[in-house]
Amino acid sequence: MELTTSYERVLPARVLQRFELREVRNAAALLMATNPSEFAEIAGVLSEFALSHDDVSSAGGNKSPVARRLDLRFRELGWREARHDTRVTSVLMMQPHRAAGETDRTVVENEVRNEGYWIDNVKGRVALDVEWNAKDGNLDRDLAAYRALYGVAIVDVGVIITRTQTDLREAALTFDPRSTKFATTTTTNLAKLEPRLTRGDAGGCPVLAVAITARCIVQ
């Protein structure tokens, strides 16, 4: 699947200058057109976002201060954590055999419920996850959730906020030559997300990927 670049014409210059962006199916333009309030909030959060030296040098896992800070900002704007569950009900209706004196149909029902994955932030028809430095398998979970939600017409677009790898690793070493921050490539980052987008893991769901870079570090 080819990447598109609609974000170049709809996102503020400050966001374009400080983040690396990828998308499929013109996700940014679609987000602005279909969910303008949510688009404006995302653009605003990204425009005001900054990394500190501690963010880059201190240890942090799935819910590091960076992820918690972003999630909190979205909570303040009315975004909420959500989980998409599915229930499938099968109904078998057996018709009566009149010649045998039967008058009523026999109905057999069976329901199967599948618990889905949690999504960090949902508002309007937009799903948004923050994957700063978690296990890269989280990206598969996120994209599967977007695919399912889009397939049942609950969301119009998915957004993943993640990070770059090489430049942040270099920044961490600049602050502390002994740092192990971002030393592994098996955590969530743009290099792990991009091939998942281009092979179509999100199905028909438009997805915008926003990668935090070293250009977000406050001097």
Question: Do the domain assignments include residue 43?
Answer: yes
Q: What are the start-end ranges of the H helices in the chain?
A: 7-10, 13-18, 27-34, 36-48, 53-57, 65-76, 137-151, 166-175, 190-198
Residue 207 domain boundaries: 7-85+115-216
- Residue 168 belongs to some domain of the structure: yes
What pLDDT score was predicted for residue 57? 83
Specify the pLDDT at position 62: 45
Sequence-distant (≥ 6) Cβ neighbours of residue 29 within 8 angstroms: 6, 7, 9, 10
Contact status, residue 215 vs residue 31, Cβ threshold 8 Å = no
CATH number at residue 193: 3.40.91.20
209 sits in which H/E element: strand 207-212
Please state, rounded to an integer, the average pLDDT across all residues of the chain.
94
Mind listing the pLDDT tens digit for each residue in 10-68? 999 999 999 999 999 999 999 999 999 999 999 999 999 999 998 998 765 446 899 99
Find the mean pLDDT for residues 168-178.
Answer: 92
First to last CA, the chain: 38
Q: Is the pLDDT of residue 196 over 90?
A: yes
Whether 107 is covered by a domain: the verdict is: no
Q: Considering the domain boundaries, does residue 38 fall inside one?
A: yes
In a domain, residue 172? The reply is yes
Question: Does residue 52 lie in a domain region?
Answer: yes
Cα 217 to its chain centre, rounded Å, is 23
pLDDT at 132: 94
Look at residue 81 and tell me if it is in a domain. Answer: yes
Domain count, the chain: 1
Summarize the confidence of residues 117-121 as an average pLDDT: 93
Confidence of residue 114 (pLDDT cuts 50, 70, 90): confident
